Amino acid sequence: MRQDSIPSAVADRLSTAARHLRAARRAALDRVAVEETEWEYAGRTWSWPAGEAMTYFRELAPGEREVLDGLVAELDDLGEAGSADGAVADSGAEVIGTGTGRVAVAIPGSAREGESEPTDGGSEPTDGDPLVAKLARYGPSAEMGDGRPQNRRERRIWAAVESHPFLPVLDGGSGGDWIAMPRADVPPDESVREEALDRVRAALAPHRDRFHFDEFKPENVGAYRGRYWVVDYGRPAGDPLFVDPPGESEPSESDPNASDPAETDPDASENPQDRSHEN
């Protein structure tokens, strides 16, 4: 039987941290709530605050940093325990990126256990490679969105495609709390950056019906095992926002036992690494 790429001890900590992360941002936003102003101009509805002007739009809110510091410490402890003969882990856990909907956390390769099957045809198993977990943040609006739909969508795309140039989604938490991917070098080295972008654009061409990028940037591409991959799957094709398919319900923040979206989304159950059905 295929084993999970993420051991239970790591997965449990990621799920707990994601829940606490959302609660911290939500509480911080409630404390600084600013009434939104809307007006019509040039046939569009405009609002303020918006984008980068929104409080904690990209930067971490009070409480989020503490949650992440605790997670990093726990992952480092697991990494040291998993290192051979008690040696220090090959690379430490760290927060490597913060977006409006998700936070990227590096996981030491020594924190992993078990075996992994190839993720791209004849490619090597990824067991032992450092990973990145994308933890979902709380979002009160479409612009400042909850990261869980984006995580679920990337799992669905990977389950359907399972090939280059999509960086593999190796595992995921219930309801989109988090997903895990191999850690790629992002962005590619400046000397090969344009070549990397061109290669990934060409490889993505057959998949244009699945997504689009408002602007394809070097930060969307990473180098991993001698190839260039898209590390962020972009937006749904024809839709400017991250949305769930019809019939997929959003888990309740207040109900930890809420039904998983995989129960209503047939695509979600295609991923053998999906933890959604675990008790």
CA distance 172 to 267: 14
Which has the higher per-residue pLDDT, 91 or 230? 230
CA distance 261 to 267: 10
Residue type, 102: R
CA torsion sign, 272 to 269 to 144 to 197? Answer: positive
The whole model's pTM is what?
Answer: 0.74
CA distance 137 to 28: 12
Per-residue pLDDT band for 102 (boundaries 50, 70, 90) equals: very high
The confidence score (pLDDT) of residue 30 equals 82
CA distance 70 to 59: 18
CA distance 254 to 164: 38
Least reliable range by pLDDT among 52-66, 120-134, 170-184:
120-134
Look at residue 191 and tell me whether its pLDDT is greater than 70: yes
**Short-list 14, 8, 2, CA closest to 180:** 14
Which has the higher per-residue pLDDT, 32 or 4? 32
What are the tens digits of pLDDT across the range 127-138? Answer: 578 899 999 999
Percent residues over pLDDT 70 in the chain: 61
Q: What's the length of the chain?
A: 279
What are the tens digits of pLDDT across the range 195-222? Answer: 999 999 899 888 877 776 666 789 889 9
Residues in a beta bridge with 185: 223
What are the tens digits of pLDDT across the range 213-258? Answer: 666 789 889 999 999 999 988 776 655 444 455 455 555 554 444 4
Q: What are the structural domain ranges in the chain?
A: 8-30+49-270
CA distance 177 to 163: 23
The confidence score (pLDDT) of residue 209 equals 75
- Nearest-5° angle of CA 41, CA 53, CA 142? 70
